Amino acid sequence: MSDPVPEHDDRTGRGYPLPHRENTLNVDADRLRDAVTKIDADITAVEVGLASIDAVVTGLGDRVTAVAASLAQVKQPAEIAGIPPVIDLPCDGPDCLPSGVVQGGSGKWVTRPSGLLTWAPAGTPPIDYDPVTGTWHGLLAEEMRTNLLLWSSGFGAAWSKFGAVTVTGDAVAAPDGTLTADKIGFGAGTAGFYQNVTVTSGVTVTGSIWLRADTPTTVSLISNDTPSTGVVSKACGLTTTWRRFDVSRSTPNTTVNLQVSGPGTAVVIYAWGAQLEVGSSPTSYIPTASSAVTRAADLNVLSLSRVDGWNATEGTLLLDFIPGARNNNWNRAVGLDDGTGNNVIHIVNRGNTASLYAAVIADGAAVADFQAFRGPDVLFALQRVAIAWAANDFGFSVNGGNTVTDLSGAVPLVTRITFGTSSVTRANGWLRRVTVFPRRLPNPTLPLLTAL
């Protein structure tokens, strides 16, 4: 027979039962046993929590030690050069560039360290991160592009279907965190969705789209033209994590499409952010609704009149840069000029030749022209480049390579520095750090500056 409910249920502030002189001995014995059991459980929980905190603190300590060690081992550019720079801009945050430098007319979508797409408003440096690893990429500088697809995130009536395809709009959270991604069901057999657009004959286009699935599966991202000159297809391995896939093609025709085809078995996937643009590489996402949308080219310019200690007769430019363009344009990463192409000192990338260049032009005449062939690793990998100049004394080094020189020519008169932009081309990549010294640094110093 169980004990009666105690007449007196006194408890501590933490809720532990207390004995009472008017309770029976059996009742208070049970109450004390309950109290001891609860106290023991609480102590165990505290010990577990303290162990977790200790592990976190230990981990943080290890990270601090590692960072401190790396800082001790890696010299800053000013330490290597032996003189302070007049410009030193790590492109790592929204305030990394002086006010008024970012002059482009459009904002853009960039990836945050969390992997979430975020809108960077016009006038704000668009700092981008790797969508998979969260690694810092830098200041994203791009050319003008137009998303030719309509309803880029809604795959309903604007998109043609073949086979058994179902679309549920706004079903799950998209890469930007909003509830705007569609659920796409493919039936067994041939099934897919696509949209045709009109382009100029002879262009290269790139289509891209974010895809994921609840269960790993493989679908095909396809581009075809009309009349068909051959399908370009890419197998896309989908996981539970959003990933942007792209495919590029050239066409002699004026009609081309972007298409997603199922695997031939019944599956469910999720889709968001489709884009079809003229160019050989995908650029940052441009959302559309009932019409195509154009994102303006980036324009980042700093007048040298704002740079204390600027030296018009000599200097050294050091650049950390991640190229991202597969085209054959002269994609300027950073440059000094007078607002024209007549007086220039700049560093450029050509994706189709996998090369980095530096060139000097004075009064419209080529003074120095350097090239470093980097091979396939030039794209989407950090490159560190330096160019130094003084009258009849120019030098160039890439990624710790020996300094290449040109010992004749005048120094151009320049009035501004551009970051990822020029009057004609854009970097189509990421600037991580730009450093300018007011002296032509010695040839042996340049490889030390550019060593990765």
Q: Which string of DSSP letters, residue by residue, matches 418-441?
A: EESB-SS-B--EEEEEEEEESS--
Mean pLDDT of 222-235: 96
Nearest by Cα to 214 from 192, 184, 187:
184
> Is 361 in the same domain as 433?
yes
Domain CATH number, residue 318: 2.60.120.200
> Is 268 in the same domain as 215?
yes
Mean pLDDT of 348-354: 71
pLDDT of residue 35: 80
In this predicted model, which residue has the larger pLDDT, 212 or 61? Answer: 212
> Is 201 in the same domain as 338?
no
> Is 303 in the same domain as 430?
yes
Mean pLDDT of 51-75: 50
Domain end marker among 74, 91, 106: 74
Q: How far apart, in whole angstroms, are the C-alpha atoms of residue 150 and residue 288?
A: 6
377, pLDDT greater than 90: no
> Is 332 in the same domain as 227?
no
Q: Which residues pair with 141 in a beta bridge?
A: 429
Q: How far apart, in whole angstroms, are the C-alpha atoms of residue 341 and residue 392?
A: 20
In this predicted model, which residue has the larger pLDDT, 270 or 429? Answer: 270
pLDDT of residue 293: 98
> Is 192 in the same domain as 262?
yes
> Is 259 in the same domain as 387?
no
pLDDT of residue 12: 84
> Is 167 in the same domain as 108?
no
The chain-wide mean pLDDT, for the chain, equals 89
pLDDT of residue 64: 46
Q: Percent of the chain, pLDDT > 90? A: 72
For 16, 52, 155, the CA distances from 39, given in Å and listed in that order, are 8, 20, 58
> Is 49 in the same domain as 107?
no
| Ramachandran class of 86: left when φ > 0, alpha when ψ lies in -120 to 50, beta otherwise | alpha
First-to-final CA distance of the chain: 80
Which pairing describes strands 127-129 and 136-141: parallel, antiparallel, or unpaired? antiparallel
pLDDT of residue 329: 74
In this predicted model, which residue has the larger pLDDT, 205 or 426? Answer: 205
Q: Omega into 447 within 30° of 0, i.e. cis?
A: no
Q: What is the pLDDT of residues 285-321, one digit of tens each?
A: 999 999 999 999 999 999 999 999 999 999 999 999 9
pLDDT of residue 9: 81
pLDDT of residue 402: 95
Mean pLDDT of 325-353: 84
pLDDT of residue 88: 97
Mean pLDDT of 70-91: 85
Q: Percent of the chain, pLDDT > 70? A: 89
> Is 134 in the same domain as 223?
no
pLDDT of residue 51: 60
Total domains, the chain: 3
369, pLDDT greater than 60: yes
Mean pLDDT of 426-433: 90
Confidence tier at 380 by pLDDT (50, 70, 90):
confident
Domain that holds residue 101: 75-142+298-450
Domain end marker among 74, 94, 115: 74
Q: What is the pLDDT of residues 382-427, one digit of tens each?
A: 999 999 999 999 999 999 999 999 999 999 999 999 999 876 778 8
pLDDT of residue 124: 94
User: Which residues have a Cβ under 8 Å from the Cβ of 418 and sit 6 or more positions away?
Assistant: 300, 301, 302, 332, 334, 335, 336, 337
71, pLDDT greater than 80: no
> Is 154 in the same domain as 279?
yes
> Is 415 in the same domain as 367?
yes
Domain CATH number, residue 188: 2.60.120.260
Domain end marker among 295, 312, 335: 295
